[in-house]
Copies of this chain bind each other. A is one copy, B any other.
Amino acid sequence: MPKRVSGSVLVTGASVPERYLNQLRAAGLNVVNPSASFPPDILPESELQGLLADCDAYLLGGDEIASRSVLAAAPRLKVIAFLGVGYASFVDAAAAADLGIPITNTPGVLANSVAEFAVGELLAARRRIVDYAVDPRLSQEKCRDLSGHPVGVVGLGAIGTRVSEILTNGFGAQVHYFSRSRKPRIETSLGLTYLPLPKMVDQVEAIILTVPDTPETVCMISKDLIAVRRSPLTVINLGRPEVISPRALEWGLRNDRIESVWFDDYYRDDEAGVTELRKDPRVKVTPHIASLTHDARDAMSAMAVASLLNILHSGTDPHIVISDAY
């Protein structure tokens, strides 16, 4: 039986299911949960400031921004539990560090949902499932199995590892990977081959991009990389769109170096008419849904609630984020 805590917790967004709110209530907290619509409205700064003023804890599940001035006006705040991984776009981490408010996040829990989605897109691409389902009269072409065929996984974090597991253990595909650092244990256990990125892009039939948002991954897939291809490449991008250089995309489609490309979100800024390419039937765009499962969202809620209560109880938690701000 955990110690009881007291005070109020602000829960934003609409993805935390009622049973996790009840866990917070059962621990002794008063739950303030202003938005129940889905997708929820984004809280304006003034409203967030008012809501947080009396709160001891903050489960950040919405798309609002917890700025320095918001945090500075929340004298009782002891923890920000961020629902997701990329907290830095939503919380001023430097301000939280200055104010001594720990931030937690929920790493790893999305990996399986995102990996399953990626494999679904890969199969849809290879077997033209979307194209035929839309128009069964399409001219028929022989496709290719996954079993025994070379597929490249770029990035071998939790998502890339799970994708590799499904492709090797389930389908018997031949998985090559590229990652900033080699991962010998995963290589051995799954039978993966490490290849430098240019060599991998040259040798595989499809690549699955699972790289994080860092300055190094911007335009990681360049025109030079795909120009060497002798046959069109299938590209599944689970990261932000900018991992693929807009110029490479435009050139690759025009010169048949790209067979199809799958984005789970699309470029916000138009560059060289790249927004127009969205109309190309080889460009498939889904609305940032790779992690939108009950499974992932429940696991995120469970982890965020546990971290939040841990910090209120004991001041510490394994998921406190290590930030440059500290």
A42 contacts the other chain (CB 8 A): no
Q: State whether B123 touches A287 (Cβ < 8 A).
A: no
Q: For chain A residues 112-133, which have a beta carbon within 8 Å of chain B?
A: 112-113, 116-117, 119-121, 123-124, 126-130, 132-133
A213 contacts the other chain (CB 8 A): no
Q: State whether B136 touches A133 (Cβ < 8 A).
A: no
Task: Name the B residues within 8 Å of A167 (CB-CB).
Answer: 170
**Contact among B39, B130, B145, B292 with A124 in the assembled complex (CB-CB below 8 Å):** B130
Q: State whether A287 touches B132 (Cβ < 8 A).
A: yes
CA A134 – CA B278 in complex, angstroms?
11
A3 contacts the other chain (CB 8 A): no
CA A285 – CA B293 in complex, angstroms?
25
Task: Name the B residues within 8 Å of A171 (CB-CB).
Answer: 116, 166, 170
A137 contacts the other chain (CB 8 A): yes
Task: Name the B residues within 8 Å of A293 (CB-CB).
Answer: 142-145
**Contact among B117, B129, B146 with A130 in the assembled complex (CB-CB below 8 Å):** B129
Residue of B nearest to A169 (CB): B169
Q: State whether A130 touches B133 (Cβ < 8 A).
A: yes
Q: State whether B120 touches A289 (Cβ < 8 A).
A: no
A295 contacts the other chain (CB 8 A): yes
Q: State whether B129 touches A286 (Cβ < 8 A).
A: yes
A214 contacts the other chain (CB 8 A): no
CA A295 – CA B173 in complex, angstroms?
13
Give the Cβ gap from A324 to chain B, nearest Cβ, in Å: 33
Task: Name the B residues within 8 Å of A133 (CB-CB).
Answer: 124, 130, 284-286
User: How many residues in A have their beta carbons less than 8 Å from beta carbons of B?
Assistant: 48
Q: State whether A112 touches B142 (Cβ < 8 A).
A: no
Q: State whether B286 touches A144 (Cβ < 8 A).
A: no
Task: Name the B residues within 8 Å of A292 (CB-CB).
Answer: 140-143
Residue of B nearest to A120 (CB): B123
Q: State whether B124 touches A129 (Cβ < 8 A).
A: yes
Residue of B nearest to A143 (CB): B293
**Contact among B39, B140, B285 with A287 in the assembled complex (CB-CB below 8 Å):** B140
Give the Cβ gap from A158 to chain B, nearest Cβ, in Å: 13
Q: State whether B286 touches A132 (Cβ < 8 A).
A: yes
CA A294 – CA B140 in complex, angstroms?
12
Task: Name the B residues within 8 Å of A170 (CB-CB).
Answer: 119, 165-167, 169-171
Given contacts A112-B147, A116-B147, A120-B123, 10 further A-B contacts (CB under 8 A): A129-B129, A132-B286, A133-B286, A136-B285, A140-B289, A145-B295, A147-B295, A166-B170, A169-B169, A169-B170
Chain A contact residues, CB within 8 Å of chain B: 38-39, 112-113, 116-117, 119-121, 123-124, 126-130, 132-134, 136-138, 140-148, 165-167, 169-171, 284-287, 289, 292-297
